[in-house]
Amino acid sequence: MDISFFVFSGTGNTKLICSLFAEKLNGMGNKASIERIKKDTLITAEPECLVIAYPVHAFNAPAPVLSFIRRIKKSEKRPAAYLIETSGEPLGLNDAAFLKPRKLLEKKGYDVRGFFSYVMPYNIIFPHSDGMASRMLSVAKRRIESDAATIANFGENAVRIGAFKRIVSAILRIEHPAMPWIGRHYKVTNDCIGCGLCEKNCPEHNIRISNGKPVFGNDCSGCMGCAFTCPKDAIRISILDGWRVNVKYDFNTRPATDDEICHYLRSSYLRYFHKWENRTENHLEIIRT
């Protein structure tokens, strides 16, 4: 089966998850392709199975993901679609970020059959430890073993989004008009070497290098790709600067033990890790016997 992944990823987490999916699906005899969602990305040929993946931004899908879905041509064949999201927090509230993309895709004639959400390290607020990042990825890898099979078999994976999640998500959708305004006020320090990495990575083509320094336009989506990957940590993200994260996570380090889990939302992270570590262990045990 041809499975087309369209991925919005500011700092690489969502892209990494989708690469693992694609690897697994290809190993199962499918043909999975990955294309990055950028300002001008279009679906040129209708896929047999469409997967759209993105990070959660303020309990919502990032604005460019919604614009991308609005550009999709309406289908008469009701192709299968799946949504994948990554988030920094293991909170059920993040499921609300499935709402809008699901609604828009259904309007385009797609049969949205499943929703998968993975916790990955923060790219804003504070950096997780490498050990936390490594444990998150290890849980994701185990889950992808069975989640990829669900997609390959056109299976279903439902999610329940109640009234509270809908209300919080609707209020925080203010992020969509706010981010272009905040992004217009990004600045660079004298440490900037004009390497152009920020310009190259920006999915919205919102950065151009002028006189050796980045100039920020009016289309920032707040993905943090520029500030997170700047080799000199020279980008200042306006009123969000206290939350700026500039790290390169080492996913190959030893996974954090339970005692090493961060204090912030500690019990939620532990619940998330234990839930999936136990479930996949039982699942693998059933396969082995």
Ligand X SMILES: Cc1cc2nc3c(=O)[nH]c(=O)nc-3n(C[C@H](O)[C@H](O)[C@H](O)COP(=O)(O)O)c2cc1C
Site residues, ligand X (CB under 6 A): 9-14, 55-59, 86-89, 94, 120, 122-124, 222-224
For ligand X, which is the closer residue by CB, 4 or 123?
Answer: 123
Shortest Cβ 211–ligand X spacing (Å)? 28
For ligand X, which is the closer residue by CB, 112 or 124?
Answer: 124
Burial of 92 (0-12, 13-18, 19+ CB in 10 A): middle
| Tokens of residue 262, six digits | 């961060």
For ligand X, which is the closer residue by CB, 61 or 81?
Answer: 61
Hey, what amino acid is at 167?
A: I
Shortest Cβ 159–ligand X spacing (Å)? 15
Hey, what amino acid is at 103?
A: K
Shortest Cβ 167–ligand X spacing (Å)? 14
Shortest Cβ 59–ligand X spacing (Å)? 5
Shortest Cβ 72–ligand X spacing (Å)? 21
Shortest Cβ 146–ligand X spacing (Å)? 21
Phi, psi of 157 (to 5 degrees): -145, 95
Sign of the C-alpha dihedral, residues 260, 261, 267, 269? negative
- What one-character-per-residue DSSP string does 51-89 give? EEEEE-BTTB--HHHHHHHHTSPPPSS--EEEEEEEESS
E strands, the chain, are 2-7, 31-36, 49-55, 80-87, 111-119, 187-188, 207-210, 213-216, 235-236
For ligand X, which is the closer residue by CB, 123 or 206?
Answer: 123
The Cβ-side half-sphere exposure at 102, using a 13 Å CA radius, reads: 19
For ligand X, which is the closer residue by CB, 122 or 186?
Answer: 122
For ligand X, which is the closer residue by CB, 94 or 206?
Answer: 94
